[in-house]
């Protein structure tokens, strides 16, 4: 503690202002707590600034560029399509700025004190917040740690102007002619799809047998097929070995089936996962337990082994999803306030903004059977839906997973247009304990993609209407 550094006392201190931290701070303040939130970078965290939001903006711009090229099947052709990528980036930044300004307004409107700086734990009731010039001590009754994660840097691929993480790829000044993407998970696949739509020649190097390994093969195969149609080369069971940077690009060496190969490109994008930001907080000063991956161990209320300190988001077990962090933030804030809130991940949706989109919630048929549940899957194709046909986007399906004994909806998977929006209905069904009959009896507007859920529910109850 520096001379003259009189501790500032707060009820709840939130460390990190990403989608977990700022939501936790707002909920805690709404429940009567005096809250201070500390962020070393920009409000909104990775998600709003260099993740979810800017990537979806880029994906949408890519879709628009692709659609502008016309479709001869629909009788629409065009001579030329030009993309001013600097304008695309300007538009993307405007969206980011509007949302981060909105977060600031929400925090202030809920009387949350916003502090800029880095946090270091002194003990289980005290932190020191440091910026470039000052150090200030804060004493808290409770603390929620929400410091997020950062891209993993792999050996032989040190990040640079040509070796990019997702942040670097989203900030490119021009559309690359060629790009190598290491890692075919959701980040690599989304950005590959976006740049392929702009005309970039993509090569994906994936270490496992399939891209998007967290989804069923019949779902990921649709994305693989569409990427290949856009000119992408997808090389699976490939191990990236190293990169040679040249004046104008990169030469990437990789190994596949025991043979060493090389591929040249303008840039190489590394998307092999994310590492929790738990290593520079002084957590060892408090005795907070971490697992072997550096993740904080928590209970069902997001409480660490230190009873007044909570952890949420990417620094705890589970997928690094913004909506998971927000959900956990609400649970932690409510637990601090004495509520009986507890985490339950069954209805946690997972979405990939690929082409086509993929979404899943609850159990897959395989997972249900592994859990000892006698379940069945009822599948309805987009190709039999009037709205999908009128959109000329018929690849994909919706699969409803139900318990055989009573028709309880325990999961759903969607591959197709607008899957990211459609999964919400099925998430509600899982969360609310609804049956397939409940969905089948719900009147869905016609013609809409939403009808596909009703059709799958009709199949589940043994009364299909638009399928033999």
Query: Pairing between strand 250-256 and 238-245?
Result: antiparallel
Q: Is 314 annotated as a binding residue?
A: yes
446 is catalytic: yes
Annotate 253-288 with b (16+ C-beta within 10 A) or e (fewer): ebeeeeeeeebebbbbbbbbebbbbbeebebeebeb
Q: What's the sign of the alpha-carbon dihedral 210, 326, 313, 426? A: negative
Q: Are 48 and 96 in contact (CB under 8 A)?
A: yes
Q: Are 103 and 43 in contact (CB under 8 A)?
A: yes
Q: Is 451 annotated as a binding residue?
A: no
Which residues, in sequence order, are CB contacts of 97 under 8 Å at separation 6+?
A: none
Q: Is 18 annotated as a binding residue?
A: no
Q: Is 184 annotated as a binding residue?
A: yes
Query: Pairing between strand 375-381 and 201-206?
Result: unpaired
Q: Is 183 annotated as a binding residue?
A: yes
Q: Which listed residue (63, 323, 444, 446) is catalytic?
A: 446
Q: Is 148 annotated as a binding residue?
A: yes
CA angle 272, 278, 283 (to 5 degrees): 160
Q: Is 425 annotated as a binding residue?
A: no
Measured N-to-C along each axis, helices 85-109 and 21-30 cross at an angle, to the nearest 10 degrees, of 30
- What single-letter DSSP state applies at residue 152? P
Q: Is 147 annotated as a binding residue?
A: yes
Return the residue matching tokens 């000892």: 372
Q: Are 231 and 259 in contact (CB under 8 A)?
A: no
Q: Is 186 annotated as a binding residue?
A: yes
Q: Is 405 annotated as a binding residue?
A: no
- Cis before 356 (ω within 30): yes
Q: Which two tokens stand for residue 290?
A: 């971490």
DSSP-based helix, strand, coil % in the chain, nearest 5: 35, 30, 40
* Residue 15 CA to its chain's centroid (Å): 20
The 3-state secondary structure of 289-304, one letter per residue = CECCCCCECCCCCCEC
Q: Is 188 annotated as a binding residue?
A: yes
Rounded distance, CA 394 to CA 220, Å?
A: 16
Q: Is 273 annotated as a binding residue?
A: yes
Q: Is 206 annotated as a binding residue?
A: yes
Give the residue numbers of the binding site: 56, 147-149, 183-190, 206, 273, 314
Give the residue numbers of the binding site for NAD(+): 183-190, 206, 273
Give the residue numbers of the binding site for FAD: 56, 147-149, 314
Active site residues per annotation: 446
């Amino acid at each position: 503690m520096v001379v003259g550094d009189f501790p500032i006392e707060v009820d709840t201190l939130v460390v990190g202002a990403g989608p977990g931290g700022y939501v936790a701070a707002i909920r805690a303040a709404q429940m009567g707590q005096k809250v201070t939130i500390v962020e070393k970078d920009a409000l909104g965290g990775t998600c709003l600034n260099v993740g979810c939001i800017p990537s979806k903006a880029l994906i949408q711009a890519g879709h628009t560029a692709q659609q502008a090229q016309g479709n001869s099947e629909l009788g629409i052709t065009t001579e030329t399509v030009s993309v001013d990528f600097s304008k695309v980036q300007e538009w993307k930044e405007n969206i980011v700025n509007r949302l981060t300004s909105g977060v600031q307004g929400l925090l202030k409107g809920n009387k949350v004190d916003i502090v800029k700086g880095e946090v270091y734990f002194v003990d289980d009731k005290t932190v020191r917040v440091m910026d470039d010039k000052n150090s200030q001590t804060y004493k808290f009754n409770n603390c929620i740690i929400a410091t997020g994660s950062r891209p993993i840097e792999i050996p032989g691929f040190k990040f640079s102007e040509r070796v990019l993480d997702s942040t670097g790829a989203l900030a490119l000044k021009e559309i690359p002619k060629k790009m190598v993407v290491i890692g075919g998970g959701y980040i690599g696949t989304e950005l590959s799809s976006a740049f392929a739509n702009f005309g970039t020649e993509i090569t994906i190097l994936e270490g496992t047998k399939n891209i998007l390994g967290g989804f069923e093969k019949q779902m990921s195969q649709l994305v693989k097929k569409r990427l290949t149609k856009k000119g992408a080369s997808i090389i699976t069971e490939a191990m990236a070995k190293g990169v040679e940077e040249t004046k104008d690009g990169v030469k990437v060496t990789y190994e596949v089936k025991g043979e060493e190969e090389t591929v040249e490109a303008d840039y190489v994008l590394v998307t092999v996962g994310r590492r929790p930001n738990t290593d520079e907080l002084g957590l060892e000063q408090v005795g907070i337990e971490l697992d072997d991956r550096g993740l904080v161990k928590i209970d069902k209320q997001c409480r660490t082994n230190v009873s007044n300190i909570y952890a949420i988001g990417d620094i705890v077990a589970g997928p690094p999803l913004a909506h998971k962090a927000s959900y956990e933030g609400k649970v932690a804030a409510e637990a601090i306030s004495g509520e009986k809130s507890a985490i339950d991940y069954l209805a946690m949706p997972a979405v990939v903004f690929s082409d086509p989109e993929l979404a899943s919630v609850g159990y897959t048929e395989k997972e249900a059977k592994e859990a000892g549940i006698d379940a069945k899957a009822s599948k309805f194709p987009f190709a039999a839906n009037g709205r999908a046909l009128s959109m000329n986007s018929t690849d994909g399906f919706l699969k409803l997973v139900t318990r055989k004994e009573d028709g309880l909806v325990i999961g759903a998977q969607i591959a197709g247009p607008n899957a990211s929006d459609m999964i919400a209905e099925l998430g509600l069904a899982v969360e609310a304990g609804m049956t397939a009959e409940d969905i089948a009896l719900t009147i869905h507007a016609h013609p809409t993609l939403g009808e596909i859920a009703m059709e799958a529910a009709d199949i589940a109850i043994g009364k299909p209407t638009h399928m033999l």
